[in-house]
Amino acid sequence: MGGGGYKLKANAVIFSNPSAKIYRALPPPKKDVKEILAVIFTGPHKPTEEELKHIPLLVRRNNVMRALECLQLNHLDYSDLEISQKNMDEYEDDKIPVPVQHHDAQSNIEPESSSTHDQDDEEGVDDSACPFAVHGVSGEDYAGMSTAALKATGLKHLQDNGKVLAISQDDELQSIYNNPQLYPQMFPWLFPYGLGGLRNPRMDKNVSELGQKQHLLMFHDKQFQLEPYYPLLAFHHEQIKQSTTGGFLTAN
């Protein structure tokens, strides 16, 4: 500003991310899953077949097919989903669908993090609660990183031959007018069945878009309130529409 002050000005535009390779046919071929997912066990012994049955990585084909059929039947955006029985037949029942690697480790103590006075052969407890450590980069780690640190983390991942999934954006902007699927596609976790969008044809009563947005914010579980981007975008779009309408009336 000329007077030395500051003002904040922002805008929000929406592009779709076409990912036809992912959702055109489900489940994906087994070879594609192997490219992006692997299971690694560490310890003195390889896991037994009985132990493998207790990890949440087994495929039960009937359950997968029922889930896909339910999704196709109940979710509007998946109504044209192709369910591939051929791909499903590639997966063995109650088997891990990706390679399982075993890294032999005689001790679970890391020398770099152990004390010079530590005399235990193994790290752990004999009773009470089991300590659980998570390794990797989580959302909380990203939140505290600067732009330079994020770039360095991404570059290291690429240098380590880490897998990458790239989905480009569409060339055309998404319209905020007469587009009932806009919010269900932007926030699929808030609209799990792809229904309930603004001015959708299934509504029994004629409710304004602003009134519907306010109604969603009053849900008892507060999921729309706790989602940081929904209130911001919803009412930003209202400002755009009011400004456009006001400008049109002034011009007339």
| pLDDT reading at 140 higher than 80 | no
| pLDDT reading at 185 higher than 70 | yes
pLDDT for the residue numbered 46: 76
Mean pLDDT estimate for the chain:
75
pLDDT for the residue numbered 194: 83
Tell me the domain boundaries of the chain: 19-108+162-168, 182-245
- What residues contact residue 93 under an 8 Å CB cut-off, 6+ apart? 59, 60, 61
Per residue in 36-75, pLDDT (tens digit) is 666 666 666 777 878 777 776 777 888 889 988 888 888 8
For the ranges 29-38, 64-73, 97-106, 134-143, the lowest mean pLDDT is seen at 134-143
Give the span between the Cα atoms of 71 and 28, in whole angstroms: 15
Could you tell me the pTM of the whole model? 0.47
pLDDT for the residue numbered 196: 83
Band (pLDDT 50/70/90 cuts) for residue 22 is low
